[in-house]
Amino acid sequence: MMLLNMPLPSAMPSATQALTSGQSNVPYTTQQYRKRKEEREQSGSGKRKYVKKTDAIIYKNCNKDRKPPAHLQYFGNWYCKESETQSYEDWRAVLEQRGYGKKKRGDAP
Ligand SMILES: [Zn+2]
């Protein structure tokens, strides 16, 4: 009486062999095609990608997005909470002294 249900440990399929042979057997023409394709992609084939103008405006004083609430605009001037040393009120007062935001009050000399 023989045991026919014994598993056979040596019957493993050689998957590694199939992998390595597949990589080394790339035809020369295919290699050239891949190379050209790569070069074309790198050069952009003459087509320039349209670079979208970024929405973020970087404020030069802090190199960050010039966005509220850290940034306040006052009559075309920008106040940056992070890089400005004076308070917003003081900063605005300076602009007001320069004439920003003033309506004609008739108090000119
Ligand atoms: Zn800022």
Ligand 1 center from residue 56 Cα (angstroms) = 12
- Give the global pTM: 0.44
Taking only the tens place, the pLDDT of each residue in 87-109 is: 999 999 999 999 998 766 555 56
DSSP annotation of 25: T
pLDDT tens for 66-93 read: 999 999 999 999 999 999 999 999 999 9
Please write the tens of the pLDDT for every residue from 39-60: 888 876 556 677 776 678 999 9
Higher pLDDT, 42 or 23: 42
Instruction: Quote the ligand 1 centre to 103 CA distance (angstroms).
Output: 28
DSSP 80: E
> Could you give the CA distance from residue 8 to residue 81 in angstroms, rounded to a whole number?
75
Give kind and range of the element (H or E) at residue 96. helix 88-98
Ligand 1 center from residue 78 Cα (angstroms): 9
Ligand 1 centroid–CA 102 distance in Å is: 25
